[in-house]
Amino acid sequence: MISTYDTPAQKPNPVDDTTFTRPLVKALQQQTEQLAGTIAGPDAHRIASAWVYTTVLAAWCEDHALIPAWLRAEAEPARKHHLDAGGTLLGWLGRACASLTTHQSTACLLDPRYNPITQAAPSEDGARALIRWWSHEAPDLAYSAGKGPSSLTGWLAGDLLQLVADERRKANALCQTPWWICDFLLDRTLVPAIETWPQDLLRVIDPACGTGHLLVWALIGLYRWYRSNGPNHPALPPDAAIRRALAGLHGVELDPLTAAVARLRLTVTAGALLAGDNALPTPLRLHQIPADLRPQIAVGNALLAGQGDPCPPGTLLDDTHHYPRILQRGTYHAVVANPPYITVKDPQTREAIRAAYPGVCTGKFSLSVPFAVLVFDLAIRGGHTATAPAEDGQ
C-alpha cells in the first residue's frame, strides 16, 4: 500500500472524522455568508468563498510553520503593530494570502486567472470578523493523523474546497477521492508499474486531478521507490529521487483554483519528503523549498487538450513548455483518475467532446464515458490503469 504509517491510530484521522469536519465546514460556510454580505456585485458569494478558502490554505500553512503567523492568536502583537502604523485588517488579510505565493509553483494562488479574490475585497469589518474567527475559534489544521494521510499532505485543506461552497461541486463535479480509495487505485496501477518497469523513469498521470489527492499519494510512492535499494535499482539520493518523481508525474484539472491548490500541496509534500531525509532544514518553510521543484499540473480540459498534437496552444491555461509531453497518448506507465460523472451543460464543449470521442459519446453521455477512453489511450502498451467508478455506474 502507498499509505504506511507506524503510529497506531488512537482516534479517527480528522479527514475521516465527521465530528471534526462538519462543525468546521459549517463555520466556514457561515464565514463565507457573512463575508459575502460585505462584497458588492453579483459574484459576491463566489468571491467571498474564494477569500475564505484562501485563508484556509494560509491557516494550514501557518499551522505547519510553512509561513509566518498571520491569522492565528500568536500573530496578534504583529497585527496590532500593523494597525498602529496605519495599516488595515483588510491589508493584513491580503498579506496573509500573499504569503502563500513565496514559491514559484504557488504564485498562481494570487493570479487573477486562478483566484477571484483580486476582483473584489470585503469590508474592513468583514476582514476583522474573519481574522477574529481564525484567531480565537477555528481549530488547528495541524494534527496527529495515525492511520491515513498526515496533516502536512494538505488532505483536509483539499477536501474543504468542495465543501466551503457548492460552485465547484455543482459545475465541475469536484468530488475528492478518499485516501483509502487512492490506496486501492494506486495499488493496482503504480505498484505494478514499478514492478514491470523497475529501471524506467515512471510516467504517471491523473487527467482529472482535483486538488491532488491521487497525485500526492503517487508522489510519496514514487519517492519511496526511487529512494529504495534493490537488484539493478540503486537508491537515489533525496534530491535526485524527488526530481525524478516529479519529472514523470502529471496532472490536469479544469478549474484553475483547484489546480493551484494541487500545486501547493505537491510542492509542500515534495519539501516534506526532502526534510524527512534531512535534505532540507526543519521546520520546513515554503520559501526554502527549491524554486525549481515545480509540480506539472496543467489547467485545461484533458478530454480536448492533447488531441493530435501532444499539447496544442490554447487548450491549457499556462505556457505549454512547462509541461513537456503532458497528455501524450500511449506514454504513461500508470493512469489513475476519479473522473467527473456529470453531463456537460455547455453546448459548444459538449459537441467538441462528442466529436473527439464519436465512438462512445452518442446521445446524452456522462463525462465518465470519454474519460474512460482517455485513460486507456494515455497508457503505454501494457500500462496499468484504474478509475473510481461513476456514481451512476456508467
Residue with cell string 524554486: 291
**Model confidence, pTM:** 0.93
Greater pLDDT, 317 or 121: 121
Does residue 10 belong to any structural domain of this protein? no
Structurally, how many domains does the chain consist of? Answer: 1
For residue 38, the 8-state DSSP code is T
pLDDT at 388: 86
Residue 100 predicted with pLDDT over 90:
yes
* pLDDT at res. 169: 57
Residue 77 pLDDT > 90: yes
Residue 393 is predicted with a pLDDT of 44
- Predicted pLDDT of residue 231: 78
User: In the predicted model, is pLDDT for residue 320 greater than 70?
Assistant: no
pLDDT value, residue 305:
82
Q: How far apart are the first and last CA of the chain?
A: 27
**Phi/psi of residue 205, each to 5°?**
-140, 145
392 or 120: whose pLDDT is higher? 120
In a domain, 145, yes or no: no
Split at pLDDT 50, 70, 90, the class of 325 is confident
Residue 132: CB atoms within 10 A of its CB come to 13
Per-residue pLDDT at 9 exceeds 70: no
Mean pLDDT of the chain: 90
Residue 370 within any structural domain of the chain: yes
What mean pLDDT do residues 67-72 have?
98
Whole-number pLDDT of residue 307: 62
Q: How many helices, marked H, and strands, marked E, lie in the chain?
A: 14, 5
pLDDT at 308: 55
d(CA 203, CA 122): 43
268 within domain boundaries: yes
Mapped onto helix, strand or coil, the DSSP state of residue 187 is: helix
213-255: pLDDT as tens digits: 999 999 999 999 999 988 778 999 999 999 999 999 999 999 9
Using the predicted structure, report yes or no on whether residue 319 has a pLDDT greater than 80. Answer: no
For residue 161, give the nearest of 250, 71, 255, 251 by alpha carbon. Answer: 255
Q: What is the pLDDT of residue 3?
A: 44
Q: Are 323 and 250 in contact (CB under 8 A)?
A: yes
- Please, which pLDDT band fits residue 210 given cuts at 50, 70 and 90? very high
Is it true that the peptide bond before 283 is cis, omega within 30 degrees of 0? yes
Q: From edge to edge, which strands make up the β-sheet containing 332-337?
A: 296-299, 249-253, 204-206, 332-337, 379-387
Residue 130 has pLDDT above 50, yes or no: yes
Q: pLDDT tens for residues 155-176?
A: 999 999 988 866 655 655 556 7
Q: Domain of 239: which CATH number?
A: 3.40.50
Q: Which CA distances in Å does 57 have to 37, 106, 109, 152, 356? A: 22, 11, 10, 12, 37
Q: Is residue 60 part of a domain?
A: no
Contact of 210 with 217, CB cutoff 8 Å: no
Question: What pLDDT score was predicted for residue 132?
Answer: 98
Q: What is the pLDDT of residue 232?
A: 77
Instruction: Give the pLDDT band of residue 379 (cuts 50, 70, 90).
Output: very high
Report the percentage of the chain scoring pLDDT > 90. 75
Domain span at residue 351? Answer: 174-387
Residue 19 pLDDT greater than 80, yes or no: yes
Per-residue pLDDT averaged across 352-367, rounded? Answer: 92
Does residue 40 belong to any structural domain of this protein? no
CA dihedral 312, 317, 223, 272 (to 10 degrees): 170
Identify whether 366 is part of a domain. yes
pLDDT band at 101 (very low <50, low <70, confident <90, very high): very high
- The answer as to whether 178 is a domain residue is yes
Q: Is the pLDDT confidence value at 44 over 60?
A: yes
Q: What is the mean pLDDT of residues 371-378?
A: 96
What are the pLDDT digits (tens) for 21-40?
Answer: 999 999 999 999 999 999 99
Cα distance between residue 132 and residue 162, in whole Å = 24
| Residue 310, pLDDT score | 53
